[in-house]
Chains A and B, each alone.
Chain A
Amino acid sequence: MIDHILSLLIAIPLFGAAAVSVWPSQRPGDFRMIALSVLLLELLTGLSLFLFFQNQNTGYQLSETVDWITLPIGSLGVVSIDYALAVDGISFPLVILAVVVLFVGMISSWSISQKTRAYFALYLVLSGSVIGCFLAQDFFLFYLFFEFMLLPMYFLIGLWGGPRREYAALKFFIYTFFGSLLILIVMIGLYLSVIDPVETARAVGIVGPEDLVQTDVILQIQQWLADGRIAPDQLVHTFRFAYLTDAGNYIPGSILSPETEFNLMGIPVRLLAFWFLFAGFAVKLPVFPVHTWLPDAHVEAPTPISVVLAGILLKIGGYGFIRIVDGFFPAEAQYSMIPLAILGMISIVYGGFNALAQTDLKKMIAFSSVSHMGFVLLGVAAFTAEGINGAIYQMVSHGILSSMLFLLAGVIYDRTHDRQIDNYRGLIGPMPRYTILTGIAFFASLGLPGFSGFVGELFTLMGAFQAGPLPVWIPALSTLGIVLAAAYFLWTYQRMFFGTFWYKADDSIMLTDLTTREIALLTPLAVISVLLGIFPGLLFDMTGPTVQAFLERLQ
């Protein structure tokens, strides 16, 4: 059981989806109950990982590897695709975040009443693929999950969304698909350039097909590879992350080998590949200027989908930056540090200013996401321990807080179907509890010390300051983001919640305060944010050693 716990994490929601699809009865309540119990099981399984995960272990843990596809294709060598799963300090916090946010999203899906069978089945498919993304240790497998996610997301926005749902869903799909295409191109290039030393050793015949392969054999194979002593048809190509990060596994003279001399229009191919990969994940994060799908998608998506989108899906972009972009192209990442940091800075400031100008509550939150995810890019760009740890921290913190924010936006939308900030005043009158929880979420998001948002921003900024090649003005200008955050959150708060109660459409409307279910959803998120804010060690102890080892390997 423990050996396959990661597979279980992916399988539980997928089986749940199958169960919902074929469930004989037509009662919506049944689908809901199945989905809820499946995700509860998923949550518990995810949390049980804490029992096995070791903070000090900097390598992959709980690994599962199965040879999936092995195909000899003549002179092009052998295709080897593995079903490889593992967690490490970088992905573990995100996996935990994912199971928590997916569960929260599930509870807030309670009020979905149309096409429930399809909704919950798609939601479970989405859950499985999101988790898969964080667990996959094989680029092909990762890409599979990455693509697989788009489909349920497209339908979840396009069928259950607001008035302009088709437009938003299509925009989301096209943007992300375009990004995936760029990733795919690089993936193929990498595949052509990298071998699996273990499988190659077996193919060459220096070890038996079932024997364990020791480090000295791997070094020997890498030496042979460098000397060109292995015939092309004996090379076993691979997608495994672990091999892609090791420069020794690159075939000399291949298109993406570190010593490659290939140029495209005067630009080194590896640099180009780096920017392709970056652009692919930048769409997801999102980074200015490819962020415009996000506000539309958020505004149109139903509340739980907004929660999942902001809470986890965006984090795959940041995760991809660290694991894939930096992991495979460290030299290029350091070379491109300044433009990356500037993009991060622009996202922070641009997102903040735009959030200030919005009149739609959800759009305001969406742009605040752009601004907050800019900090992630800034931290990653810095390429320092503080920066990358801070970026992971910021992702977890934003995952918790943006979920909370979108749930809060959903609360008022549920009651009035109106998200215009200026249409409300004095909500504190009829909804005091709602006001308090919104206040907590707003202050936590604007980076008040004591909440997680502060720690994430502090350490990404600190990382950016520590990065030698980065000019100081980039992080210094980025601090404008925290000023803007105070302005747009507090201004919204003032406009909607204070003064005497007034609602544009219907002044005599009776607004009910938060229900028990809503409080039960929001309070744990607030508590997590406070805990992480006061004890950042809870998270840094997990990520710190791994990130340190990760950086040392790349230097």
Chain B
Amino acid sequence: MSETDYTVPASLLLGLPILAFFVLWLGGKNLNKSAGWIGAFITAIGLGASIVYADIDTLHTVSFNWALIGQTKIILSFLFDELTAIMLIIVHFVALLVQIYSISYLHGDKNLHRYFAFIQLFLFSMVGIVLSGSLLVMYIFWELVGLSSYLLIGFWYFKPRAVWAAQKAFVLNRIGDAAFLTGILMLFYYIGSTDFEVLATSIQSLDAGILTAIGLCLFGGCMGKSAQFPLSGWLPDAMEGPTPVSALIHAATMVAAGIFLLARISFLLTPEAQIVIACIGTITMVIGAVKATQVWDIKRVLAYSTMSQLGLMVIAVGLGSWRTALFHLATHAFFKSGLFLSAGSVIHAVTPSETDETFDPQDMRTMGGLRKYLPVTFVCFAICSSALAGLPFFSGFLSKDAIIVEAFFWAEKHGAWAYLFPIVIMISAGITAYYMTRQVWLIFLGEKRYQIFKSVHPHESPVLMWGPMALLASLSVFIWFSWNPFDASHGWFLELVGAEEFGHILWVPFVATGITLISIFLAFRETKAEDPFSIYAGNSKNSVPLLKKLAGLNEFSREAFFIKSFAFISNGLKQFESKFVDAFVDGVAKWSVVFAHILSWGDKNIVDGGVKLTVFTIKSAGQGVRGFQNGKIQSYYLVTALGVLLLILWLTVL
């Protein structure tokens, strides 16, 4: 299929970051100063290579044999097509900006070399996922991404909550990955390969039921990485990691890997599997949106929002439109990492100059009125928020609109009940607008609630930080994706990924905008209330009682759901082990001894003469044996040799 040898870019894109990882990691603390620039430089080369080698018209593959077992040949393959070109550029671009931002944001941390090393490890794994030409290769890098996410969330290893969150992320992901692996192995069994090209041609031969099972197993991987219900609980906790990491991994790239996986395997998803996927996506979207209206942590709001947006992308795939999902992935990557970086800038600004245990720099209740001190951050945050909320003229509007349109087309074909999906999406989009307005107001507008803490002196961030933010914010405007601010179906992006024509429904953008505006109005009205958003009323009290009730749903993926049940089974089996399995053996042993005593009593009292002699002999032999245990190793040999001799004798006499 490919004439050009793409080994060079493949080894360049994968080799450089892994090399950089080892250099930075083993380089030690004296690289702390330069690590960020080295990392950024490597990533810049990667970005260059991604652009130079982006050849969207042809498919290029690179493959080599990994193992040969019996008749099964395991081939590892990498492929370059339009999907990889887009993803590579997004990943490298965001990673570059995030590393530049981190140089300033984290400066002074004494383990900086490790931080940038881990970022490079992440890039290596993420590029591996993007380039993978088979599901097995994807799984390999999938797990490595999990590792780098673990290392980065737990980067501040002295914070118990960060380490706990890292471990929770890895384990919850592993649950999804176990399903993913099962799907891969089933494909090996039924098709004999997991190569995308092979699968595309031979998948039709498979029974629909089995195909559904395989599709859902593979979706398990997406549920873990893309934080879908019920494996979503790790994402909000992952916010314990450094903020730039949240921007890169837990907003723009890694969590999108699940969507990328679904886009790759969309051809093997049966209608039944698609419905399940759409339902899971819907649940996730609603839960994420509702939770985002309730939390006070600036980053957690964004995390729940990410979860919700990922749900939206999953719905799009479930409804058979992976292209719009990918479109939303792309727009989301920019505005959400922009939001995270801006949030980092806010945290940076309000973090007290001296340590103040009582002040939490991430709590929005102690912010407010920061617009004056952080003008650039405010503008960036506002632009990215508008994109997320789906206001017209911003990128998020285009992609969300495209998905809603697709949902309506899909519903048309499936009957009245199917309209549930587009309606729920629109309502959730409304909630999105509500919580983003709430967040912008809580941080930047209203009264300055931080002033009760004397140690807080907000200040704008240096250019190394606001530069990347501004760049990402500028990419959240519609113009980059489509000339027409109300319709992306003729924009370059959708034309690039999709051969088919995208439809457009004229009234959708207007209704969607209407809902968004109403939500913003509702949120705005709340700011005029006596106690806006119940800031002073206590922790999780919410102004909308119904939303509060729904929040309980998310508890499924928290401690109560997984850890307690695992601990229960695990302790139960430990009891079983000691009380039953082991006790049984001990019992057998004890009863044998009792039995032996009975026999020996009978022996002593009933059998006499020659037998007594035998007993005596054995007894004295026993005395002799005891004598052997004196550490004189020579005697052990004697016994062993004698034993062997006896065995041979016995066998020959037999």
Contacts and interface: CB of A to CB of B under 8 A. Distances in A.
B631 A486 contact: no
A69 B648 CA distance: 9
B566 A487 contact: yes
Interface stretch (B311-319, B340-348, B507-515, B574-582): B574-582
Contact of A386 (B72, B170, B631, B632): B72
A24 B570 CA distance: 54
Contacts of A448: 143-144, 147
B196 to A, nearest CB: 19
Given A117-B633, A356-B566, A475-B185, A499 B163 contact: yes
A51 interface: no
Interface stretch (B471-479, B491-499, B634-642): B634-642
A140 B469 CA distance: 76
Contact of B167 (A292, A389, A491): A491
Contact of B185 (A175, A461, A480, A551): A461
A350 interface: yes
B636 A155 contact: yes
B51 interface: no
B279 to A, nearest CB: 22
A462 interface: yes
Contacts of B571: 357
Given A385-B69, A486-B174, A353 B573 contact: yes
A547 B189 CA distance: 20
B418 interface: no
Interface in B139-196: 139-141, 143-144, 147, 150, 154, 157-160, 163-164, 166-167, 170-171, 174-175, 177-179, 181-182, 185-186, 188-189
B68 interface: yes
Interface in B553-590: 566-567, 569-571, 573-574, 577, 581-582, 585, 589
A285 to B, nearest CB: 16
A548 B70 CA distance: 6
A498 B158 contact: yes
B68 A71 contact: no
B67 interface: yes
Contacts of B582: 292
B631 A465 contact: no
A537 B72 CA distance: 13
Contacts, number: 170
A497 B633 CA distance: 42
Contacts of A79: 651-652
A21 B569 contact: no
Contact of A354 (B65, B170, B573): B573
Contacts of A551: 70
B71 interface: yes
Nearest to B178: A479
Given A443-B147, A482-B178, A487-B566, A385 B72 contact: yes
Contacts of A252: none
Contacts of B167: 490-491, 493-494
Given A148-B640, A499-B163, A540 B652 contact: no
B417 interface: no
Contact of A544 (B69, B573, B637): B69
A389 B70 contact: yes
A459 B634 CA distance: 46
Nearest to B142: A449
B67 A498 contact: no
A107 interface: no
A287 interface: no
B581 A466 contact: no
Contacts of A450: 140, 144
A431 interface: no
A16 B577 CA distance: 41
B67 A461 contact: no
B71 A499 contact: no
Interface in A479-531: 479-480, 482-483, 486-487, 490-491, 493-494, 497-500
A229 interface: no
A289 interface: yes
B68 to A, nearest CB: 6
B144 A449 contact: yes
B634 to A, nearest CB: 6
B634 A21 contact: yes
B188 A466 contact: yes
Interface residues of B, number: 64
Given A354-B574, A357-B570, A386-B72, A498 B154 contact: yes
A17 B634 CA distance: 10
Given A118-B631, A385-B69, A448-B144, A461 B181 contact: yes
Interface residues of A, number: 78
A386 B69 contact: yes
Nearest to A350: B573
Interface string A444-467: 000011100011001101100110
B536 interface: no
A483 B634 contact: no
Nearest to B634: A21
A73 interface: yes
Interface string A368-401: 0000000000000000111001100000000000
Nearest to B589: A174
B166 to A, nearest CB: 8
B160 A498 contact: yes
B189 A466 contact: yes
Interface string A122-140: 1001000000000000001
Nearest to A148: B640
B70 A499 contact: no
B606 interface: no
B189 A465 contact: yes
B52 interface: no
B67 A540 contact: yes
B216 to A, nearest CB: 12
Given A354-B570, A459-B69, A499 B140 contact: no
Contact of B171 (A289, A390, A490, A548): A490
A155 B188 CA distance: 48
Given A292-B582, A357-B571, A465-B189, A544 B147 contact: no
A255 B66 CA distance: 46
A536 interface: yes
Contacts of B140: 449-450, 454
A115 interface: yes
A268 to B, nearest CB: 24
Among A21, A390, A494, A497, the most chain B Cβ lie within 10 Å of the Cβ of A494
Interface in A78-132: 79, 115, 117-118, 121-122, 125
B201 to A, nearest CB: 21
13 contacts: A140-B651, A289-B581, A353-B569, A354-B577, A465-B188, A466-B188, A472-B186, A493-B167, A494-B167, A537-B66, A537-B68, A541-B68, A544-B70
Interface of B: 65-72, 139-141, 143-144, 147, 150, 154, 157-160, 163-164, 166-167, 170-171, 174-175, 177-179, 181-182, 185-186, 188-189, 566-567, 569-571, 573-574, 577, 581-582, 585, 589, 629, 631-634, 636-637, 639-640, 644, 647-648, 651-652, 654
Interface of A: 17, 20-22, 69, 71, 73, 79, 115, 117-118, 121-122, 125, 140, 144, 148, 151-152, 155, 159, 171, 174-175, 188, 288-289, 292, 350, 353-354, 356-358, 384-386, 389-390, 426, 428, 443, 448-450, 454-455, 458-459, 461-462, 465-466, 472, 475-476, 479-480, 482-483, 486-487, 490-491, 493-494, 497-500, 536-537, 540-541, 544, 547-548, 551
The 6 residue pairs across chains A and B that have the minimum distance between CB atoms: A385-B70, A357-B574, A449-B140, A479-B178, A498-B163, A356-B570
Given A354-B570, A386-B72, 12 more contacts: A22-B634, A155-B629, A450-B140, A465-B185, A466-B189, A482-B174, A483-B175, A483-B177, A487-B171, A499-B157, A537-B67, A540-B69
